[in-house]
Structure 1
């Protein structure tokens, strides 16, 4: 059965500057190349879900500019329903400036623009409520206002829709929003921002899982980069190893993981470990290409990688 996924989130036009190394404070360096591509954490996650076969809808906002039209077209061409992607004519479309070095590591500066104009009133429109109500999963991040996310999560809970929160970029999260979150997916930095616990070893991972459980989060995935994903549930805690590949560009890897994983996930989370492994395969393919959205793999590409017995040691 095809998962029905709605993503509430950001839409950005990404511009990437390719450099040999990251600049030091106050230093000016030359970029070897400049590229532009569709992006934004929300848009990336929606496209990842759609390319993995999920029926995907989007709730978001763009500006009344060329970038906004470009992004709406990019989502629609990737089979994402843009009926609830609104246009705010007086605000620019969100954008991101990315500095990417030769090792595939990046630094990102984000201009929120129209993404910050999403409010609870946006969410409480009948068409938006219907979209959420008819979903299996609702995904959100922190590049759009938390008040809107809380309003959406409350609607989801009322209709039995599972909620997935990616607390990125790192910032404080309200206890009320966590109470409406069924699955929390931070990375190490975001996890530390929420708990105050620095993840260094198995003990600190266990402390982190217990801390989130105390806050009411009973399904937790912490992405650990090259070390894999920490999965914590009430009866299970384990680290699922990452696939070792040569990364060219890590931009959007976490988004690819979340969208692809959710496309495979059962609403009762029974197959969470299997879905995580699928998402890790997807993100391992994504980091081998340039750009966030352009490098997101399809279900067919992921199936080929899995058929080749892609493992953490021989990829």
Structure 2
């Protein structure tokens, strides 16, 4: 399958702490690391490792971080034809501080990613794809927003169906709130977590939020609900898909949601039902969290075969 992915590539600075610092407090991390990350990069790497042909549309600076941010993308064989370089803006970075109790706070700089030039988008590349995946950070601001909206329009207008997967992100939803709804409601598949779902819809419960999405015209939604697994929704059916416990300890949740999204798209295009695809995605997201770094733990067809023996590569 051919995937076209629009999203950020970043350098992630990860700090695992006993507790999150209070204003003015200096703390020493239990451990720290620097890893390549970003939703676009992680989704692309996951799909490429699962055997797909992937083109990633992202933008990096001309600084020393650029090559590191792209290191796993290159190593995984992701197509580089839509990668842009920015001479003025730095490669995006994210600082993540998290505790073993699941508390997390982040400092995110969109930087070069937000400058993704829509003039370089090629309609034929979207039309030639089997699916388009857009991370919602790409829909927030700057030229990157115009690029993403145009790509979605190309996919919808294509003579051969190009399904659109849109994955939300907490920072994107917190910034745009309910105004993001109009941009994402037309997706063939919309994935998001419980906080993002309720913030996007301005509601106080999952059931009310899904009802509002249905009223707005949503067709297929998958909600990540942490240790409970995920929920798949269509206008006629709602199903809770149980979590799949990983082999190994959960040490870092960074990028687990992006791994979930990539695996879900992989399974859907492989012919599985939404519930089956969500089960595979639950397993992949959990496995990703057993290593430090968004792209550190490869997800393979063998991993998914343990959960879904009939899953297609």
Structure 1 length-normalised TM: 0.87
> 2: CA distance between counterparts of 1:98 and 1:233?
34
Structure 2 residue aligned with 1:250 = 253
Contact 1:53 1:263 in 2 (8 A): no
Deviations 1:24-50 (A, max 9, x none): 333221113221111001111111112
Q: Does the C-alpha gap of structure 1 residues 24 and 296 become closer, same or farther in structure 2, counting only changes over 3 Å?
A: farther
Contact 2:180 2:200 in 1 (8 A): no
Residue of 202, 213, 221 corresponding to 1:196: 202
Structure 1 residue aligned with 2:215 = 214
Structure 2 residue aligned with 1:154 = 153
> 1: CA distance between counterparts of 2:15 and 2:207?
38
Residue of 104, 107, 114 corresponding to 2:105: 107
Residue of 125, 133, 139 corresponding to 1:131: 125
- Counterparts of 1:269-308 in structure 2, within 5 Å, are 271-304=273-306
> 2: CA distance between counterparts of 1:303 and 1:67?
36
- Counterparts of 1:75-94 in structure 2, within 5 Å, are 75-94=73-92
How far 1:214 sits from its partner (Å)? 1.2
Contact 2:9 2:38 in 1 (8 A): yes
Structure 1 residue aligned with 2:166 = 165
Q: Does the C-alpha gap of structure 1 residues 131 and 48 become closer, same or farther in structure 2, counting only changes over 3 Å?
A: same
Structure 2 residue aligned with 1:20 = 18
Deviations 1:244-279 (A, max 9, x none): 454211111100000111112138x76221111111
Contact 2:126 2:132 in 1 (8 A): yes
Indicate yes or no: 2:261 matched with 1:263.
no
> 2: CA distance between counterparts of 1:281 and 1:16?
23
Q: Secondary structure at the match of 2:292?
A: coil
Higher relative contact order (CA 8 A, sep 6+): 1
> 1: CA distance between counterparts of 2:181 and 2:99?
37
Contact 1:41 1:141 in 2 (8 A): yes
How far 1:21 sits from its partner (Å)? 2.1
Q: Out of 27-36 and 141-150, give the one that drifted further.
A: 141-150
Contact 2:4 2:126 in 1 (8 A): yes
Residue of 41, 45, 52 corresponding to 1:47: 45
